[in-house]
Amino acid sequence: MITNVFFATTILFMALAFYLLQQCEFLIPYRSLLVGRYGPWIAGYAALLFVNIFALIYVAVRKLLLKDTGRKLAHLEKQLRTGQSISEELTERLKEHSL
């Protein structure tokens, strides 16, 4: 899941960067001045923006795709502990690990 979120963040971040590069063409003559003087600040801001976009996408994926996971796992564990599960092999493994 983390790799998918990282991939989506990278794609979104690159799209945003290309859009900003296209919109800021008037700054091309001042490129050396801007990078020389403000390069570390721009890089730091870009890194923080990347982390924030990553966190936003991560939370969205967890909320949308992992909804009710705990409840479903609790239901599965209850089935395994009572022995009324579909898979008797899983029930036996759980009994072996609990001893």
pTM of the prediction? 0.65
pLDDT in tens, 4-16: 999 999 999 999 9
Task: Compute CA distances 49 → 40, 53, 59, 72, 88, whole Å.
Answer: 14, 6, 15, 35, 49
What is the pLDDT of the chain when averaged over all its residues?
85
pLDDT in tens, 57-89: 999 998 888 766 666 677 767 766 776 655 666
- State yes or no: pLDDT of 99 exceeds 70: no
E strand map for the chain: none
Instruction: Say which residue, 83 or 29, is predicted with more confidence.
Output: 29
Domain range list for the chain? 1-67, 68-99
Q: Tokens for 39?
A: 């390069």
